[in-house]
Amino acid sequence: MQENQEFTADLDFARLQVKDSSYNKQLELDPSLIKNVYNKQERPRNYYCYRHRPDLVKERMADELANEELQKQISKLSLSEQDSIAHIFKTFSEAPPQNRCVILQGILTQCCLTQLSFVSNYIKDLIRIDFIVALPSEISVKILSYLDAISLCQAAQVSKTWKRMADDDVVWHKLCEQHIDKKCYKCGWGLPLLDQKQKRNGKRSALNETSIDSPVVTTCISAADAHNSMKYLHHTSPVSSPSNTNPSTPNTPSYDSQDEIREVKRVRVSEDKTIPLYPDIPFITLEPHKTRPWKEVYSERLVVERNWRKGRYTVRSIKGHTDGILCLQFNEENNRLITGSLDKTVRVWNLDTGELIHVLKGHTRCVQALQFDNVKLITGSMDHTLKLWNYHTGQCLNTLEGHTDGVVSLHFDNRIVASGSADHTIKVWNFSTSKCTTLRGHTAWVNCVVIYQKSQLLSCSDDQTIRIWDLITKTCTKVFDSQETHVASIQCIQPTVLCSVFNSSSANTSHKERSKCNDQDKIDEPIVISGSLDNTIKMWSLETGKCINTLFGHVEGVWSLAADKLRVASGAHDKSVKIWDKDSGKCMHTLVGHGGAVNCVALGDTMIVSGSEDCEIRIWDFKH
């Protein structure tokens, strides 16, 4: 029995080794009492409970206030009463742990209900433990990493220690991992990626901050390249001028996609960081990369996401085309917007300012489709041709001929281009092998083609079918369920993924049932979203070809779709743009303002760009 009591008493103490502590000297006890408590242990006690740990005493200012209040109450008593109370305190403090429990038990048995109620209320706060302070910092950070953003901000207001832990980069990094560019399974919403905007800002700051006199990091080029460029470096201004340091840029005719790769040289740093590796070769030094706190990264994206959820945006209008706009694409990293129109022209715009940069002329009929990357632009027209452009200079580089009717749609991935035509065929152009393959199967206009995972092709047509093609065997591998298909021509398709799906057999499972599954059971299911002139938008499982969900909201035919990992945007003949939650299928917002049918929409992290038959481009910006 005595051994059990001693073991129980030891459990009340946190195992903390304290050396040469003043607090330890104040609580030196009689050796006989220590021997009774610790039996065979000859050394002084080095275990302290949470309330008496010397390193935590300073964290509890409330104990000092309580002691001051207690002293005031005792001072009001007579001297004899004060001596009696002091004797009781001394007896209790000198007693070993198991004897203290016996004394307390005896006192409580003599208390009436009122006194027991006082004890209950008084110890309620005393037995609380500040676990963030008491536990090792690694465990505290692990605990805080399970909180959401609101709870973390509230935790940071508890104390300075809590604020330091709650603002830790590890905690906010995990929060960013759960939300950025994906929908969190716990809270049901996600944050935009904002990668293209950050890349553009990074490039701009690198150009502005780079100088020859900058310290720290030294970029070393080869000796041959350095000697060949010495004259150029000696006769030009410092590197801070982009026009002088980048003779071949996207805005010059000599620009090539490999230029960006060639500009990146191996970075070498001399051992003492002051003596150059090659004294007679000029060096370009760069500023060290500055990282931002993950809390700041999260906060920046949270502002944009709240604007998306609450429908807060600003609208800018760009005009220049003389006829309806049929296709468009924008790139925030390059700050470019390119549009194709019924007026037979392709126009290149500055995305931020709306300034017209180039007008590309060459097609003899309306431009139905376009796509561009950092180097090239490909357009498709009803004049039966596709054209390859250097949109930085406005120069037409090549014309592809092969269709016997107008080109309605196109999509390229690296060196493979697929085009859909009014001649009911799909042509696949391989620039690597200089071969063109024709895919036949549709019985009407092929309104949209998308290369998926490099080896497959998705297509939709006026014949109300969606087909999957194998680009290796050049055959049709799947036709989506005809019983659940649209009842009018399908104008557009968009492959993406659907979150919160726990297996492929749950295609007909409601969103409410999906949200109940465990995190480990949830996966992202590949799907295809289609828009039709029957006023509906449908979501299809790529694996089964079955319809998962049908979105109702537009009152006239849907002409265009755009989707990312969080939402879907659609443009329709009813002159409106609708934003949908991709997982639930609910319409979040309806954007109105166009004076004609919305023929094309493009979706980014911070904005939606739409083109209409009213010759107007509207930019719906959710960041500002």
For 305-338, write each residue's pLDDT tens digit: 999 999 999 999 999 999 999 999 999 988 999 9
- Phi, psi for residue 618 in degrees, rounded to 5: -120, 130
Amino acid at 6: E
Query: Distance between CA atoms of 273 and 271, rounded to whole angstroms?
Result: 6
Q: Compute CA distances 338 → 192, 359, 385, 488, 615, whole Å.
A: 23, 10, 19, 30, 14
Residue range 487-528, pLDDT digits in tens? 999 999 999 988 754 443 444 444 444 444 444 445 678 999
Query: Distance between CA atoms of 341 and 240, rounded to whole angstroms?
Result: 39
Where helices occur in 12-60 by DSSP H, the ranges are 22-26, 31-38, 54-57
pLDDT value of residue 514 = 42
- The architecture that CATH gives domain 129-194+292-310 is Up-down Bundle (1.20)
Q: Domain boundaries in the chain?
A: 65-127, 129-194+292-310, 314-497+524-621
Cβ contacts of 1 within 8 Å, gap of 6 or more: none
Is the torsion defined by CA of 58, 59, 63, 69 positive or negative?
positive
How many angstroms from the chain centroid is the CA of residue 168?
A: 19
pLDDT value of residue 56 = 65
Give residue for tokens 């047509």.
Answer: 461
Helix (H, G, I), strand (E, B) or coil at 565: coil
Cβ contacts of 37 within 8 Å, gap of 6 or more: 6, 9, 45, 96, 97, 98
Is the torsion defined by CA of 99, 102, 106, 111 positive or negative?
positive
Regions of the chain short of the pLDDT cut 70:
1-48, 50-52, 54-64, 185-189, 195-290, 500-523
pLDDT value of residue 428 = 96
Cβ contacts of 158 within 8 Å, gap of 6 or more: 132
pLDDT value of residue 203 = 52
pLDDT value of residue 59 = 56
Q: Which of 570, 567, 561, 604 is nearest to 582 (CA)?
A: 567
Residue range 109-160, pLDDT digits in tens? 999 999 999 999 888 877 888 888 888 889 999 999 989 888 999 999 998 8
Helix (H, G, I), strand (E, B) or coil at 254: coil
* Fold observed for domain 314-497+524-621: Methylamine Dehydrogenase; Chain H (2.130.10)
Query: Distance between CA atoms of 431 and 417, rounded to whole angstroms?
Result: 8
Helix (H, G, I), strand (E, B) or coil at 95: coil
- From the number of C-beta atoms within 10 Å of its C-beta (0-12, 13-18, 19+), residue 236 rates as middle
Helix (H, G, I), strand (E, B) or coil at 568: strand
